[in-house]
Structure 1
Amino acid sequence: MDYTEFFDDKAQLKMREFVDQNNNPLIREYFCQSNQNKPMLTLIEMKKGFKTVRFEKEASFQAYFLDCLAERNAQAVFYCDRCMQVLPAFEKMKHIVPSYVIFHSALTPSGYLNDQVYSVFKPVTELAKAGKIRGLISSTKRESKDAAEVLQVSHSYDIPVTFTSSEDKIPFSSRTPGKIIAVA
């Protein structure tokens, strides 16, 4: 897939068009200028057969594809590693899929649990209540417990994270199916 960007006379981005190998348009993104004089996405159009599907928000566009994945695989499981980019799409999905949010840092700016939670994590509580998030994953038992308490989520898991300076080669034949060996 390739794309071309179209600009107005003032060099402001107006449209980005993604094309297939035959140069047929597949996706068009339309922009206007924000108050900060930066491109602001206003509409996404996607060709699907002879129809055009429109999305007003990037999250709806992402949710469309996540729903397609969910439809094709009844055993799909989604992991959200960057809340700001993915949680809005989870919220707009039509299908309920086992989904987990991975935490890498403190839940509050100060690190104290009685402080205001980072705004990026606020949707987690409501998404969990709506069944759109099945649980949380943290790197320590304490973080897992804290996240469950602060975000009022009943399923919070810890998967220990560590670092090693050596690279241990493990033969594929000795690996245990379903076990995580490493996460990069």
Structure 2
Amino acid sequence: MSGDSEAAASGRFQKSSTARMGAAAAFAVLLAGSAMTGWHWRTHPTAFPSAGNGWGSESFPVGKTHYVAMVGHLEDAERVRIDRVTPVFMKNTARAEVRFLVCTIDPASGVGGVGLVGRRSFNKTCPEPVPAEGAWFEPDDSAHQDIVMAITPRTDGAVNMSAIEITYTQGWQHGTQVTGPSYEAPYRAP
């Protein structure tokens, strides 16, 4: 009788051990999935609108800087710190130099954003632009801001961009997002 009870106890032990191992494996899979989801959330912020729309224009003179609003608002209500803005060029035969600025729109200018303008209009709309790298971009309810591309063509040619990439931090999130409009313009010497 003791052999039968030992065998029965051993069977119960094996069943409960197998159940514990299965539960531990399920917990490990759940934990790994949660960690992957959390890491993806942390490294894929979505504060800016998706890339879309576009700017196109007739010819601009070589050597003259003009300004193009690339992003005019945040999708979220939490400010972001911009680390880097990079154009996604498809073509740059005009050898254009590109800088990115954060512009806080002057309420006295009477406009809602920068648009596509020359230096005089830009200075009126945005009297104190700051370099985008290291700048804070605020939600619309704080101050209306645009991320602006200052573009200076150096030779006859054309520029064709599909979007911009913004690397930024928002709260616990940090990553790069493709956003902004496409941009296309020819340039000719005056």
| Range class of TM-score, shorter chain | under 0.3
**Higher RCO (CA < 8 A, seq sep 6+):** 2
Query: Between Structure 1 and Structure 2, whose CA radius of gyration is higher?
Result: 2
> What TM-score results when the alignment is normalised by the length of structure 1?
0.20
Higher strand content, 1 or 2: 2
> What TM-score results when the alignment is normalised by the length of structure 2?
0.19
